[in-house]
């Protein structure tokens, strides 16, 4: 076994999970250690609720993300969300719409086929996904979630060729499920700008991942039921210390599945978003008590995928 551990070390990887939990010296471009993310913000009204509740509770939200997909929002809805986030210097990250679980294949719903996740089956699905990204960018969007390795690589090439802006933030979804330092480093090499780690990784496993990648790590500290339902609020200070630069992501346990969302679920989404921000306020209290010296980014900080308004480039969609 020692020989195998030495082999990993020779390649620049940790030889074991890091139980000594070393402090990360890596930072966001602005020197900060952490930022706050609210997920599942499904539409303009839900987004406005997030902002109103954040102001009421004194919580800084750096990124909001959405799961239903770009293709299930109208141009006006996307523009409105972009305008709201741009005005605050906040990142907006919308999921690519096409995905395996919404395609006509039964494989993602079989007992063994679930491992395919949200990956795209066939070339046409990749084309649809690229069209979704192009449409979002043309409306001012500067951040999106992907959950397919092939699409991830294509986004890197799209940036090189000017099809996507260079500052477009590609956030890899938690549903990609790469779970160790080697596989997550591969995601970064394929084009991930931030990576959402699986929800049940221990601190030593997470510390080993941080050793080999420089991109921000996104981590749920409250996890939707479908991903385990864990509530890790008291670990937040250590997560920041060990994983910096890190997005602290407040999901919500014990809530209904709202994907794909729409007007028929808007009131539910608004209530869920309001509670996620409340959970973020609870998490911030823990940071203030146990790690008050932790450095948080300001709104509009470098590296945030803040939408661009007023200089929108047309793309063929």
CB 216 within 8 A of CB 194: yes
Query: How far apart (Å, rounded) are the C-alpha atoms in residues 190 and 193?
Result: 10
DSSP, collapsed to helix, strand or coil, labels residue 134 as helix
Q: Looking at residues 110-128, what average pLDDT do you find?
A: 89
**Cα(317)–Cα(246) distance, rounded to whole angstroms?**
34
Integer angstrom CA distances of residue 303 from 21, 26, 90, 134, 300: 26, 14, 11, 20, 9
Judge whether 272 and 10 are in contact, CB under 8 Å: no
Q: Is 37 helix (H, G, I), strand (E, B) or coil?
A: strand
Phi first, then psi, for residue 238 (nearest 5°) are -70, -35
User: What number of other Cβ atoms are within 10 A of residue 80's Cβ?
Assistant: 17
**pTM for this one?**
0.94
Number of H helices, E strands in the chain: 9, 8
User: Residue written as tokens 């990250």?
Assistant: 93
- pLDDT computed for residue 317 by the predictor: 33
The per-residue pLDDT for 112 is 81
Mode of pairing for the β-strands spanning 217-222 and 63-66: unpaired
| pLDDT higher than threshold 70 for residue 222 | yes
- CA dist., res. 316 & res. 28, Å (int): 34
Q: Domains (ranges, CATH) in the chain? A: 26-103+112-290 (3.20.20.70)
CA pair distance 303, 248, nearest whole angstrom: 16
Model confidence pLDDT, tens digit, residues 3-54:
999 999 999 999 999 999 999 999 999 999 999 999 999 999 999 999 999 9
By the 10 Å C-beta count (0-12 exposed, 13-18 middle, 19+ buried), 83 is classed as middle
Instruction: For tokens 């449409």, name the residue.
Output: 135
Mean pLDDT of the chain: 95
**Polymer length of the chain:** 317
Distance of alpha carbon 100 from its chain centroid, rounded?
19
Confidence of residue 315 (pLDDT cuts 50, 70, 90): very low
pLDDT at 316: 37
Mean pLDDT check: name the lowest of 104-113, 240-249, 262-271. Answer: 104-113
Q: What is the DSSP string of 65-86?
A: EESS-GGGS-HHHHHHHHHHHH
**Cross-strand bridge partners of residue 172:** 146, 195
The alpha carbon of 189 is separated from its chain's Cα centroid by a whole number of angstroms, namely: 17
pLDDT for position 104: 87
Cα 146 to Cα 235: distance, rounded to the nearest angstrom: 27
What's the rounded Cα separation, in Å, for the pair 216 and 45? 28
Q: Per-residue pLDDT tens for 60-72?
A: 999 999 999 999 9
- pLDDT of res. 109: 85
**312: pLDDT strictly greater than 60:** no
Whether the pLDDT of residue 102 is over 70: the answer is yes
Strand, coil or helix: what is 143? strand
pLDDT digits (tens, 9 = 90+) for 258-280: 889 999 999 999 999 999 999 99
């Amino acid at each position: 076994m020692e020989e195998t551990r030495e082999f990993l070390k020779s390649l620049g990887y940790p030889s074991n999970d890091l139980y000594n939990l070393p402090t990360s010296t890596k930072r966001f471009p602005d020197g900060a250690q952490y930022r706050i993310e609210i997920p599942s913000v499904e539409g303009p009204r839900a987004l406005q609720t997030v902002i109103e509740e954040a102001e009421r509770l004194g919580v800084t939200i750096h990124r909001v993300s959405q799961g239903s997909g770009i293709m299930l929002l109208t141009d006006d809805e996307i523009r409105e969300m972009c305008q709201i986030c741009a005005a605050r210097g906040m990142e907006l990250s919308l999921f690519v719409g096409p995905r395996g679980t919404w395609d006509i294949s039964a494989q993602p719903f079989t007992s063994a086929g679930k491992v395919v996740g949200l990956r795209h089956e066939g070339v046409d699905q990749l084309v649809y996904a690229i069209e979704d990204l192009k449409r979002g960018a043309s409306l001012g969007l500067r951040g999106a979630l992907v959950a397919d390795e092939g699409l991830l690589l294509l986004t890197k090439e799209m940036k090189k060729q000017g099809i996507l802006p260079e500052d477009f933030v590609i956030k890899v979804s938690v549903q990609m499920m790469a779970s160790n330092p080697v596989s997550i480093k591969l995601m970064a090499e394929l084009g991930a700008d931030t990576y959402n780690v699986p929800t049940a990784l221990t601190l030593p496993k997470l510390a080993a991942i941080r050793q080999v990648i420089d991109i921000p790590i996104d981590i749920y500290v409250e996890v939707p039921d479908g991903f385990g339902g864990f509530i890790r609020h008291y670990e937040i200070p250590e997560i920041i210390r060990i994983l910096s630069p890190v997005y602290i992501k407040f999901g919500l346990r014990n809530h209904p599945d709202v994907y794909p969302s729409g007007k028929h679920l808007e009131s539910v989404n608004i209530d869920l978003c309001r509670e996620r921000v409340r959970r973020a306020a609870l998490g911030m209290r823990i940071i203030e008590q146990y790690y008050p010296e932790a450095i948080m980014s300001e709104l509009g900080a470098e590296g945030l995928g803040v939408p661009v308004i007023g200089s929108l480039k047309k793309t063929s969609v």
